[in-house]
Structure 1
Amino acid sequence: MTFRKSAAGAPADLFPTEAAGLAWLAETGTVPVVEVLSVSPEALVLERLTAVPPTRDAAAEFGAALAALHRSPCPAHGTLPPGVEQYRFGPLSDPLPVATAVSTSMGEATAVRLADLVDRLPADSPVLRRVIDRLASGDLDDDAPAARLHGDLWAGNLLFTASGGTLIDPAAIAGHPLVDLAMLSLFGAPHLETVLGAWEDAYGTADIGADWRTRIGLHQLFGVTAHAVLFGGGYLASAEALAARYA
């Protein structure tokens, strides 16, 4: 059985970009990823997954597998999967094109993406601009190497199947590993603490520090600001509250 994704008026690169991201994650052999059966500018055909109730054991296995993904060989921050030229983030109905830059600095690469979003807000945000400046300067960098990221890993893009926690609908990019954990934490996920604990045990804290949880909010900023651009509402206030912790 298959699952077909299509959307009238979708950018011609949208489905090939998603397929490339899935392939880039899957080639590590670390975490289950939905299989791409075919792709064209008009549609993406995937294997149809059957969900099962998530268990703590499955959550622990997923956390360890996600850590293995994040430890897989990866190019510099901001690098896109092979063949991808335009980074996109957001729902199928309104996928935002977002500027990217390749850098050895997490902060510099993240600042470019975040600034592109802030430029689209209805009014400027001084507190977000201050965090962007700190990011661009490298002041908020740590020693974590760039990781292959799902990039939009909220609970709706993690499907528990008989094969375990399986990744779907990525916005894949090379970046800080806490980005994936930040998105999981943003809206909640089944057995979240088990996932985080297993990830920490497998990934270790030598590169990111034992206080890594205090920086989760920093890595939620891009996702929350993107929601402010896409949906408005209270997301801007949430983004500015997060930014105030790091400004």
Structure 2
Amino acid sequence: MDLQYLREHPAQLPVFIKHQRIRETPVPGGSICVAQRLTLDDGGSLFAKSLADPPPGFFAAEAAGLRWLREAGAAPVPEIIAELPDLLALEWIDHGEATRRGAEELGRGLAGLHRAGADAFGAPWPGYIGTLPLPNEPSPGPWGPWFAEHRLRPFLEASTGALTGADVAAAERVLANIADYGGDEPPSRIHGDLWPGNVLWDHTGRGWLVDPAAHGGHRETDLALLGMWGGVPHHDRLVAAYREAYPLADGWQERVPLHRLYLMLVHTALFGAAYGESVRALLRAL
């Protein structure tokens, strides 16, 4: 039993795991899924993530996003080896440290990924971010109203127990005045959840895109999220390389808090009031 066999018979993976034909080693993999390194008979490895009783289509959404990002042939995205209702297995990436060169290459790769574009805002598949549904009904835009109603409002409404009435009122003002922020562009092919933890740096210093909430969106969203929580290593060089390959529109820096508000509202919806002050800081910036 080797990698080629699994590519041809992915549904057999749980059987081999159950009968201990595959060695399982726990690895860090986030707060939602169980992550493991699977070692095959020939010594090859896979990365597997699983979730007991996942929401319907949970791993199918991630797999669709990975394939769509990978089709662009621009930024590194792991190959899918097996996609099952409660498990996703990907090619194994040997971990390493980011390098300046790797960050610049990823910046240019992201530019190419975004240029690949999308047919509409949203996606042809039902989406998830974490375990929350991500409204992906395709829309022609324009971007601002779409972002307000499909990326901000759903998570604002799911966060009301974590936010004060004043927070909600301030966020509603942002939604009502979304056109004032400008930045309308055609849909780009974006990762959609590109905080620094969703870039995996390999042993050569190259950055890979993992755990996407991929959809047609605004390219500034990916770049804004990459700077959160201290930012990816060599963040300034990544952004500089991106801008050389694909210049950003005027006002992009002022819109950074708007794009980050999306992910922070996801966090208040998932994890509660612990992230409330972060939402308030973004609302003050806006």
Mean Cα deviation higher: 24-33 or 45-54: 45-54
User: Mapping of 1:6-85 within 5 angstroms?
Assistant: 6-77=50-121, 79-80=122-123, 82=124, 84=125
Mean Cα deviation higher: 115-124 or 96-105: 96-105
Q: Distance in 2 between matches of 1:52 and 1:114?
A: 35
Query: Which residue in 1 is equivalent to 2:172?
Result: 129
Query: Which residue in 2 is equivalent to 1:97?
Result: 133
Q: Distance in 1 between matches of 2:141 and 2:271?
A: 32
Query: Which residue in 1 is equivalent to 2:223?
Result: 181
Higher relative contact order (CA 8 A, sep 6+): 1
When the two chains are superposed, the root-mean-square deviation of aligned CA atoms in Å is 1.6
- CA pair 198-183 structure 1, distance change in 2 beyond 3 A: same
Q: Mind listing any 5+ residue stretches in structure 2 that lack a counterpart?
A: 1-44
Secondary structure class of the residue paired with 2:284: helix
Query: Which residue in 2 is equivalent to 1:169?
Result: 211
Q: Distance in 2 between matches of 1:74 and 1:130?
A: 29
Question: Pick from 112, 134, 146: which aligns with 1:109?
Answer: 146
Who wins on radius of gyration, i.e. which is larger?
2
Q: Mind listing any 5+ residue stretches in structure 1 that lack a counterpart?
A: none
1:222 aligns with 2:262: yes
Q: Distance in 1 between matches of 2:136 and 2:277?
A: 24
Secondary structure class of the residue paired with 1:212: coil
CA shift for structure 1 position 171 = 0.6
CA shift for structure 1 position 143 = 4.2
Contact (CA 8 Å) 1:106, 1:141: kept in 2 or not? no
Secondary structure class of the residue paired with 2:53: coil
Q: TM-score, normalised by structure 1?
A: 0.89
1:237 partner letter: E
- Cα deviation, 1:166-201, whole Å, max 9, x if unaligned, reads 111001111111111111111211111111111111
Secondary structure class of the residue paired with 2:47: strand
- Cα deviation, 1:13-55, whole Å, max 9, x if unaligned, reads 0111100000000000001001101101121111111112111
Mean Cα deviation higher: 234-243 or 43-52: 234-243
1:190 aligns with 2:230: no
Contact (CA 8 Å) 1:12, 1:42: kept in 2 or not? no
Q: TM-score, normalised by structure 2?
A: 0.77
1:44 partner letter: L
Secondary structure class of the residue paired with 1:45: strand
Q: Distance in 1 between matches of 2:205 and 2:74?
A: 12
Of all paired residues, the percent bearing the same amino acid is 37
Question: Pick from 212, 223, 230: which aligns with 2:252?
Answer: 212
2:276 partner letter: L
2:232 partner letter: A
